[in-house]
């Protein structure tokens, strides 16, 4: 997915933090999630992709990205290290549960808001869809919107819909081409690493395992998990280790 050594970091289910900043009338950089990301960027020259819900419930009320103020454009424009991509209509409706026309409507509505809030230059070229949806019916739509690749599951399933030959190649190589898209395995998530590799040495060994096998690392988490101090501390520990390896943030 890039010249080694490199890593990719992304956050799924992003929604509430944007409304938190808007409803409180504060800058993005005073909102806890975005303030943390700015600190990581300053410390590690970090790039990050945020995958957005189009709609969601906040305090019992349905909110939509269309409600967000255009004022965010100025702030996102000053942060080209943040890229934005579609994730799903909402938490309850993943792309794999939608028909192709419904997927297309969700993606196009989301991209209209990404362009309005972040500018067209803020679009992610790699995206991870909700519940690792393999929305191949919409491959043409995604390619037309600038998507080059999809991140698939970090689970042992490897893929839920690929033919066996492509699934085996994806498992062995970490990526495979299909329908004009590069399909890339998600390697591990911060919230899992806390449970499975709690010691510093175990954490480093697990990160190194992926790097040695694939030549790069795909690390991700979720908006809600980054509210936890222990997840943030683990993120710093991961990036400290990756920086020691002189790995580049894609």
Confidence of residue 2 (pLDDT cuts 50, 70, 90): low
Q: Are 153 and 186 in contact (CB under 8 A)?
A: yes
Q: Which range among 2-6, 60-64, 74-78, 115-119 shows the weakest confidence by mean pLDDT?
A: 2-6
Q: What is the pLDDT, as a whole number, of residue 162?
A: 97
What per-residue confidence (pLDDT) applies to 191? 96
* Range 132-149 average pLDDT: 98
Out of 64-73, 97-106, 179-188, 196-205, least confident range: 196-205
Kindly state the percentage of the chain with pLDDT values over 90: 96
Does residue 179 register a pLDDT over 70? Answer: yes
Task: Return the percentage of the chain with pLDDT > 70, whole number.
Answer: 98
Is 6-249 a domain of CATH 3.10.640.10?
Answer: no
Residue 198 has pLDDT above 90, yes or no: no
Q: How far apart are CA 123 and CA 107, in angstroms?
A: 12
For residue 1, pLDDT beyond 80: no
Tell me how far apart the alpha carbons of residues 209 and 174 are, in angstroms, rounded to a whole number.
Answer: 13
**How many C-alpha atoms does 11 have within 13 Å on its Cβ side?**
25
Predicted confidence at residue 202, as pLDDT, reads: 94
CB atoms within 10 A of CB 8: 21
Q: What is the pLDDT of residue 3?
A: 58
CA–CA distances in Å: residue 82 to residues 10, 13, 70, 159: 10, 15, 17, 28
pLDDT at 119 over 70: yes
Kindly indicate the confidence band of residue 4, based on its pLDDT and cuts at 50, 70 and 90.
low
Task: Note the pLDDT tens digit of each residue in 12-67.
Answer: 999 999 999 999 999 999 999 999 999 999 999 999 999 999 999 999 999 999 99
Break the chain into its structural domains and give their ranges.
6-249
* pLDDT: which is higher, 79 or 5: 79
């Amino acid at each position: 997915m890039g010249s080694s050594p490199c890593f990719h970091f992304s956050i799924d289910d992003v929604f509430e933090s944007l409304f938190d900043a808007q409803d409180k009338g504060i800058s993005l950089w005073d909102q806890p999630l975005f303030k943390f990301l700015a600190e990581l960027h300053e410390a590690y020259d970090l790039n990050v992709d945020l995958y957005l819900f189009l709609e969601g419930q906040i305090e019992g009320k349905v909110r939509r990205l269309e409600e967000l103020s255009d004022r965010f454009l100025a702030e996102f424009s000053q942060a080209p290290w943040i890229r934005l991509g579609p994730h799903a209509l909402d938490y309850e409706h993943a792309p794999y549960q939608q028909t192709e026309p419904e997927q297309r409507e969700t993606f196009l509505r989301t991209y209209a808001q990404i362009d309005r809030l972040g500018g067209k230059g803020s679009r992610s070229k790699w995206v991870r869809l909700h519940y690792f949806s393999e929305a191949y019916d919409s491959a043409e739509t995604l390619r037309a919107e600038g998507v080059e690749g999809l991140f698939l599951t970090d689970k042992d399933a490897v893929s839920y819909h690929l033919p066996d030959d492509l699934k085996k190649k994806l498992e062995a190589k970490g990526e495979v081409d299909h329908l004009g898209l590069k399909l890339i395995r998600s390697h591990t998530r911060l919230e899992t690493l806390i449970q499975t590799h709690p010691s510093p040495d175990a954490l480093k060994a697990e990160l190194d395992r992926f790097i040695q096998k694939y030549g790069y690392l795909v690390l991700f988490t979720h908006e809600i998990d980054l509210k936890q101090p222990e997840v943030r501390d683990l993120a710093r520990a991961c990036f400290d280790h990756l920086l020691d390896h002189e790995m580049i943030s894609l």
